[in-house]
């Protein structure tokens, strides 16, 4: 049987690099014929020995792209907006797999999150769907964390308060966060050497340093190191950010009415961590369950959920971005029923948004398609 021809675009970026690493780990490249495309370095040597071509192909060349059975892109929305309609207009009938948000809410696209919506994916494959899009990172991580509750159809609403890492904004933002940290440390390095010095003087110096004209903030526009940014993505008006809008709307599309509609709303905040998004979830259930029952359902949601006991030592040692960075685990802790209502509970969950929030759903849908 002839192997599928898979063209990969945007493999150098952060999500693309994580994706390639995962595909190598899982020996995915043995299952299909792979061609690597570039928007800027076409014709140069391809760095991967498992590529069918020793040269990089031109990602702007429709004729080359049309030869692919599957195109997987992590190149971003601008590339998708430019290339995808032209390919479809030229009668290309292949599968398009995309990390960018541009096509997420299109009627003919599926937001992919296997195993959460594997039934939907299989149904859409059978009916000829060819457009597959990765979802918002925090939405995907949230649904994985509470999958055990969703499967029981007992979730009425979720209030999500997100604490999102710098990497969610891109590689340049990660570098800028580190530059900000270094700039702040340099401003007080001599004061820190004096063990008897005033911490208030150090604090005031940091505050003043935030105002320096040369303080690195080209990407974030404001300080993130030693601070936070309580707004992510565009302004939709009415005090709603686009990132917050995604919570409800993408959840509905991912679940596709398989369960009773779940209302999702909250606030999205950028914090000074490098990688992994955290979320404080307040969840209203439609029935009164014991904490033991709730923990049991969460634990059985999927194989990646790791429940952390709700006590001080376990929480501070094991429930943090540092513990899950680079891993597929979805940490779930601080689970307890709140005094607000017998059906309301709290959860604090953390996951690597570059894996489950970006690369892993793309890898899994590619495996599903090429296995057919």
Which residues are known catalytic residues? 137, 277
The alpha carbon of residue 156 and the mean position of all alpha carbons in its chain are separated, in whole angstroms, by 24
Alpha carbon separation from 186 to 119, 195, 273 (Å, rounded): 54, 17, 19
Q: What is the enclosing helix (H) or strand (E) of 333?
A: strand 330-337
Alpha carbon separation from 296 to 97, 115, 289, 302 (Å, rounded): 35, 19, 11, 11
Number of alpha helices (DSSP H) and beta strands (DSSP E) in the chain: 13, 14
Neighbour count for residue 112 (Cβ, 10 Å): 26
Q: What is the dihedral of CA 294, 358, 117, 120, to 10 degrees?
A: 170
Q: What is the CA angle 309-311-314, rounded to 5?
A: 65
Alpha carbon separation from 80 to 5, 9, 134, 145 (Å, rounded): 19, 10, 13, 30
Cα–Cα dist 269/287, whole Å: 30
Task: Pick left, alpha or beta for residue 211 (phi over 0 → left; psi -120 to 50 → alpha; otherwise beta).
Answer: alpha
């Amino acid at each position: 049987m002839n192997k599928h021809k898979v063209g990969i675009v945007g493999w150098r970026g952060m999500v693309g690099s994580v994706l390639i690493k995962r595909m190598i780990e899982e020996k995915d490249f043995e299952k299909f014929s792979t061609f690597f495309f570039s928007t800027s370095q076409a014709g140069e040597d391809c760095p991967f020995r498992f590529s069918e071509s020793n040269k990089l192909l031109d990602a702007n060349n429709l004729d080359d792209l049309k030869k692919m059975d599957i195109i997987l892109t992590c190149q971003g929305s601008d590339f998708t907006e430019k290339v995808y309609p032209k390919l479809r207009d030229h009668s290309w009938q292949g599968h398009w797999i995309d990390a960018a948000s541009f096509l997420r809410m299109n009627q003919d696209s599926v937001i992919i999150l296997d195993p959460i919506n594997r039934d939907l994916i299989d149904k859409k494959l059978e009916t000829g769907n060819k457009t597959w899009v990765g979802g918002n990172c925090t939405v995907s991580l949230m649904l994985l964390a509470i999958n055990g509750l969703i499967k029981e159809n007992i979730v009425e609403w979720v209030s999500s308060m997100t604490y999102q890492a710098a990497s969610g904004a891109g590689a340049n933002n990660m570098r800028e966060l580190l530059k900000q940290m270094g700039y702040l440390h340099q401003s007080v390095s001599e004061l820190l050497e004096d063990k008897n010095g005033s911490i208030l003087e150090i604090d005031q110096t940091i505050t003043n340093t935030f105002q320096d004209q040369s303080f690195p903030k080209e990407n974030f526009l404001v300080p993130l190191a030693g601070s936070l940014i309580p707004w992510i993505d565009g302004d939709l008006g009415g005090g709603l950010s686009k990132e917050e809008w995604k919570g409800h709307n993408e959840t509905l599309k991912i679940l596709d009415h398989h369960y009773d509609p779940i209302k999702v709303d909250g606030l999205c905040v950028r914090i000074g961590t490098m990688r992994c998004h955290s979320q404080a979830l307040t969840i209203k259930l439609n029935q009164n369950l014991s904490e033991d029952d709730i923990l049991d359902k969460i634990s059985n949601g999927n194989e990646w959920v790791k429940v952390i006991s709700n006590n001080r030592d376990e929480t501070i040692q094991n429930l943090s971005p540092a513990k899950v960075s680079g891993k597929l685990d979805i940490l779930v802790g601080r689970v307890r029923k709140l005094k607000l209502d017998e059906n309301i509970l709290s959860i604090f969950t953390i996951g690597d948004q570059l894996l489950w929030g970006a690369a892993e759903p793309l890898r899994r849908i590619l495996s599903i398609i090429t296995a057919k």
